């Protein structure tokens, strides 16, 4: 399946590397500035370069991976689906519930796949751990997920990630711990409470914490921040112990701490943290599915219903 990446920024380079290890074929890259796409394509053998219009009109492009800034997602997803392309779109896929429902409905009408690119749900480690969690630590009772980074305030003020609709720490990195918690809880969110931190001069939040209660009784604490230097990790608490994963959205190592004081290390091999999500999209598209059973419309809605409810935005 031929895949074209739309956008030639930092993430696109890593996505391209992930596609190279996947079941798809990196067919082309595209940018508004075609020269930028040409420079990008030189890093990858046999990769064509295009502008956006050429991607949407090229019959050889089966799927597009949208790796552009958040506020462009809606328009590009719509154009891609209407052009008959399957779509995998960088997180956060869209701004709110209304947009998500609209675009998945369009995907079904077009008979094309639409999937939010949440690599957290498709890493080698997380796909290995999920079916054996109960065996290792018993039934999950609580989940903790944190993704934080420290940003310079002056850079924040000029960053496109600060736009008010899909900006702020919650849309930038908050979707990672939410996806992690939802993946392992495997249940609809019943209730949640949120606190956010704002900074003068910015139109968005710089930190968010949320407490989630799931229909199956599991609870979770998730946090994202642009001002916290603490270690990023995900923790699964169970009746017989806990599992800790550093950099849970891409990591390859986990430690199981048992209640009897013993521990176990789990390590996996992984060529790229982007390959799993691409393979999922390719597999689903080839099966004729319009959504992934893992990262479905419902899964995207469960994430955005927390993101879009931050007080004051």
Count other Cβ atoms within 10 Å, centred on residue 32.
13
Structure tokens at 174: 């908050």
Domains of the chain: 2-118+276-291 (3.40.50.720), 124-269 (3.30.360.10)
How does pLDDT run across 184-221, given as a tens digit for each residue?
A: 999 999 999 998 887 756 767 889 999 999 999 999 99
Interatomic CA distance for residues 302 and 182, integer angstroms: 8
SS3 of residue 248 by DSSP: coil
Q: Is 293 left (phi over 0), alpha (psi -120 to 50) or beta?
A: alpha
pLDDT tens-place string over residues 226-270: 888 888 999 999 999 999 999 999 999 999 999 999 999 999 999
Question: With pLDDT > 70 as the criterion, what percentage of the chain qualifies?
Answer: 94
Distance CA 244, CA 250 (A): 13
Tokens of 221: 């604490």
Which residues, listed in sequence order, are joined to residue 64 by a DSSP beta bridge?
4, 87
CA separation for the pair 115, 294 (Å, rounded): 10
SS3 at position 288 = coil
Task: Kindly report, residue by residue over 145-154, the tens digit of the pLDDT.
Answer: 999 988 755 4
At 167-191, the pLDDT tens digits run 788 899 999 999 999 999 999 999 9
- DSSP bridge pairs for 86: 63
Helix H, strand E, coil C: the string for 215-237 is CCCCEEEEEEECECCCCCEEEEE
108 has a pLDDT exceeding 50: yes
User: Would the pTM count as exceeding 0.85?
Assistant: yes
Question: Mean pLDDT, to the nearest integer, of 298-309?
Answer: 94
């Amino acid at each position: 399946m031929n895949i074209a990446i739309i956008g030639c920024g930092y993430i696109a380079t890593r996505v391209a590397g992930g596609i190279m290890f996947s079941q798809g074929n990196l067919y082309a890259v595209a940018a508004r500035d075609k020269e930028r796409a040409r420079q990008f394509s030189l890093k990858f053998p046999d990769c064509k370069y295009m502008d956006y219009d050429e991607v949407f009109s090229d019959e050889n492009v089966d799927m597009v991976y949208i790796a552009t800034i958040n506020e462009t997602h809606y328009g590009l997803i719509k154009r891609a689906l209407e052009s008959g392309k399957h779509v995998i779109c960088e997180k956060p896929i869209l701004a709110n519930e209304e947009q998500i429902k609209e675009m998945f409905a369009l995907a079904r009408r077009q008979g094309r796949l639409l999937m939010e690119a949440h690599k957290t749900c498709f890493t080698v480690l997380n796909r290995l751990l999920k079916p054996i969690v109960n065996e290792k630590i018993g039934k999950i009772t609580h989940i903790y997920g944190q993704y934080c980074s420290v940003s310079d305030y002056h850079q924040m003020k000029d960053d496109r990630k600060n736009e008010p609709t899909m900006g702020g720490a919650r849309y930038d990195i908050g979707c990672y711990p939410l996806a992690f918690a939802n993946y392992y809880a495997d249940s609809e969110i019943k209730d949640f409470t949120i606190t956010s931190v704002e900074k003068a001069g910015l139109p968005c939040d710089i930190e968010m914490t949320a407490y989630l209660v799931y229909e199956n009784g599991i609870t979770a604490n998730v946090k994202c921040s642009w001002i916290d230097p603490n270690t990023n990790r995900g923790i699964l608490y169970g009746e017989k112990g806990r599992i800790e994963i550093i950099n849970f959205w891409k990591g390859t190592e986990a430690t199981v701490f048992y209640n009897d004081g013993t521990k176990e290390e789990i390590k996996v091999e992984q060529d790229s943290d982007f390959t799993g999500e691409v393979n999922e999209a390719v597999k689903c598209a080839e099966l004729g599915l319009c959504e992934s059973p893992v990262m479905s419309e419902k899964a995207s809605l469960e994430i955005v219903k927390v993101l879009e409810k931050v007080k004051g935005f």
